Chains A and B, each alone.
Chain A
């Protein structure tokens, strides 16, 4: 196993550090920002960023865990003969589903689920679910047939083939799916503010309404840093597993 180059770690660590600073001590950034943009309503900006970050991360974790668990389960089930016919259908569904814009899904859900946590959670779940499902199925499909054949010929049963061969070999693809799912959810959770979900999006939406640039940035900067940090963390993870998993 080769070592992953240090800059990756440094960048990831820095991004997380910046994110923490941005939610814990936004006043530092704010002092710089007031020099650049004209502050509007200071009193509105006095919301606990830590509280908002908690809410934002909480819904992302809940929805992503749900979508990862369910997507992985379904993808693994397609490895069994009785489900293999569904594989193509699921793959099509996953690709198709992702082409529907987030806002459209959110808007469509409001009449059924109302405003607030529920429709947002559902939209997040759907969006997070599809990339994990698609990447996992495709990860399985890229495993060379002769490897699967060797595994069978050595007397591995279906379960052993999945746990010892297919899942480890598909891991980089699965991790990529989880990464896309998390990033999507971080951004969808922001848009969720339009249907009443509290998170960094709330600040952005309120900031736009009140024409308050600082407030918009107070939501936009931390959420961007969070997305970047998560992305770079997963890139490291994927590299770590790809090095041992791909023979090229």
Chain B
């Protein structure tokens, strides 16, 4: 668990963070969402002690971070940044094994770990010998994630990790990271200014305004109208639509429910597509139901506009 208590950080005259408090329970992916320059990165750097708070305390597992050995603290926290920060003079293998080597793991353990991590982040094992300049942005970022996970740290800090990747690859990376996080259940603090990214990944979202926390809650909590104007404005009026990207068709699919003939219009959607793409298809074709197919293109069910209305937001419409 990570806990920030009334943390203030000043750079000379500028207050980057003012009385900031946040709790991140274990195994939770906490997104810190806000415009650039609102102090998001400052929060991250305070946790791995790259910078010192002006006042306030930071706890990890109920222990003040000042009581940790600085070097050991950092080795137990995975860190991914937007510019990746891969060492250009190290190849992929050497970049991934930096922390395990610092921790003096055996060669055997390291090799096994690298193979596991490359599989996990979806990179071919023959990438080990490649240098960062030979990688695309997306590949580099995968290596960055693998490096952060190398020594199996319980905590991950990610500062706009997919920010410099093109939209198509970003979406792919988000999906894969979501899967990885479901598998590993790390305590993650994920900083982004991209609302959709926050929706896709977050267990909890903390919306920030300059230097301060504006609102905190699960992605569903932000559908309601009781938020302050700043938060509503930042999330945008399409927030609810964007929330549909978090769901896959299969999430609301009832297996046996194939409606009688004539009801289905013959348009199909894959069950691992997002609900927002299903909705787009309905709107563009002017229909209110779709057949759902699986990987083998076999029809496994159907969804209707009504299903979306009824199922997705049922908890938020009280």
Contact = CB atoms under 8 A, between A and B. Distances in A.
Contacts of B157: 153
B85 interface: yes
B105 interface: no
A152 interface: yes
B88 A246 contact: yes
A154 B75 CA distance: 5
A57 interface: no
Contacts of A248: 133
Interface string A137-150: 00000001011011
Interface string B90-120: 0000000011001000000000000000000
Contact of B50 (A1, A144, A149, A244): A149
Contacts of B7: none
Nearest to A150: B85
B79 A247 contact: no
Contacts of B133: 246-248
Contacts of A146: 81, 83-85
Interface string A71-97: 000000000000000000000000000
Contact of B89 (A144, A153, A169): A169
A165 B83 CA distance: 17
A168 B74 contact: no
Interface in A143-193: 144, 146-147, 149-157, 160, 165, 168-169
Nearest to B72: A155
Contact of B98 (A149, A154, A244): A154
A234 B84 CA distance: 32
Interface residues of B, number: 25
Interface in B136-185: 147, 157
A75 B73 CA distance: 30
A245 interface: yes
A245 B89 contact: yes
A144 B87 contact: no
Nearest to A165: B87
A126 to B, nearest CB: 32
B127 interface: no
B71 interface: yes
Query: Interface majority SS on A: helix, strand, loop or mixed?
Result: helix
A149 B81 contact: yes
Contact of B102 (A152, A155, A169, A246): A155
B75 A149 contact: no
Given A155-B75, A247-B133, A160 B89 contact: no
A245 B74 contact: no
Contacts of A169: 87-89
A241 to B, nearest CB: 8
A248 B71 CA distance: 31
A153 B88 contact: no
A85 to B, nearest CB: 18
Contact of B88 (A155, A157, A160, A245): A245
Given A153-B48, A169-B89, A247 B132 contact: yes
B131 interface: yes
Contacts of A165: 87
A140 to B, nearest CB: 14
Interface string B60-81: 0000000000011111010101
A154 B99 contact: yes
